[in-house]
Structure formats: structure tokens, C-alpha cells
Amino acid sequence: ASPGALVLGERIGYTFADEQLATNALRHRSWCAEHGGAESNERLEFLGDSVLGLVITDRLYRMCPHAEEGDLARLRAELVSSRALAEVAQERRLGEIVLLGRGEEATAGRSKASILADSMEAVLGAVFLDGGLVAAAAVVERCWGTRIDDLVASGPTADHKSRLQELAARLALDPPRYEMAESGPEHDKRFAAEVHAGGVVSRGEGRTKKDAEQEAAAGALAVLAADEMDRGALVLSADGRTTSDE
């Protein structure tokens, strides 16, 4: 097994009985293409996606006995999103140990959200094969536990697309316009969205069109909301009701 397999175990708090599974979880397809066609982590990623979904669903079901199905679905969607996966992978510093090809190394692949998210899913798939569902659930709890508790306490994040639409209307702007592009094989699609709103262009990416559009909308929303605050400050100044010159 590679040294990265040992480091991986330390970073997720799990000791692999089969260290080869850990190594396989770290193999990005770009690395495999340069090493004799070795199997990539994509099959483990496929498995890990379902493992994470099941564990998170079970946790939410038990934690929120009075929540309706729609509320549970929104919470789960946020916890298993590409963004959440990438954030957890960053916290566990998976980018430092994932195996990448020269092309990805040259283009900052270790910090790419899509690679980090996929690697985190593959790791969960490897843990499941190595130690079963109980072991995988323990790793999810270790890596997601605080995130789950915080989200349940605060509620799911607001719909960025809806908020952007509302803000654009409030500022008398044209409705936001989205453009979508996709890449990758059929079983591993990636989506990139670009939104145009009030002269602002923001981009986002994800494994679903919704994730990509939400990320793009969040960026545009942040810029336009800041502009709205600045405009408000200018209005107050013109009315002579600010006290910033005291």
C-alpha cells in the first residue's frame, strides 16, 4: 500500500484492514491513465455516494422525529452536495494525498472541488467495503457530525436561485439568465453553470445542474447584495442621516 493509504486512515480516524482499498480510493482517473490503466476510484465513488446517502438519511430520520419528508430531503440534499463533500475533503486534507496525473497536478487538481468531492465519496466506499456499514457510519459521524448538528439547528440554506430572482426584481433588473455546459462520461457527468444578473457574471459547478446553478447564483447574490447595501448607504448620505464624519 502507498504511504498515502496510511495517512488517509489517520485523517479520517479509521484503520483499514485492507490497505489496498485505501490506495484505490485515492486513485484519480488521470493518475490511472499514466500507470498502465490501473483501476480508478470511480467505482468506489459510485458506492460511496449511496453509503453517504443512507447514513445521512438514517441520522436525520432519527434526529428529527417530527420533520416532514420535504424538510428531511432538503437537509439531506445539502449534506450530501458536492460542496459539502469538497468541504469535508478539505478539512481532512485529502487533496494532499490523492493520486493525480501530471495534467491535473499542473492545473491545481489538488484543490479542485470536483476531485475533492469524488475522492471523499470513494473513501467512504472503501471504508464500507473494508469494515461494513457500521464503520462507514462512524467515519461519516466523525467527518459530518458537527455539520449535521449545525444544519439541523439552523435549517437548510435558503434557495440561492430564488433569492437572486427576488433581489433582481427588487433592484429592477432583468431576470437572471443561466447558461449550462456539461462534460464527462455519462456515468460521471459534471455541470458548469454561468448566471448573468445586473451586469454580474458568476459561475458554479457541480454533479447536478441544480448544484451548479445554486453555486453560480450564490456568487451573483453576494455581489448584488453588497451593491444594494452600498446604494442604501449612498441614499442615507444624500439624506444627511449618516454620522460617519463624527
Taking the C-alpha atoms of residue 83 and residue 86, their distance in angstroms, rounded to an integer, is 5
Residue 199 backbone class (left: φ over 0; alpha: ψ -120 to 50; beta: rest): left
State the residue for C-alpha cell 490503466.
37
Dig out the grid coordinates for 116 from the structure: 475533492
Catalytic (active site) residue 42:
no
3-state SS class at 237: helix
State the residue for C-alpha cell 457530525.
145
Beta strands in the chain (DSSP E): 177-183, 190-197, 200-206
**Active site residue: 19, 42, 45, 49, which one?**
49
Q: Give bridge partners of residue 181 from the DSSP assignment.
A: 192
- The rounded Cα 233 to chain-centroid distance in angstroms is 34
- Output the CA angle 205-99-36, nearest 5 degrees: 110
Taking the C-alpha atoms of residue 172 and residue 246, their distance in angstroms, rounded to an integer, is 34
**Active site residue: 104, 121, 205, 213, which one?**
121
Catalytic (active site) residue 49:
yes
Q: Which of the residues are catalytic?
A: 49, 121
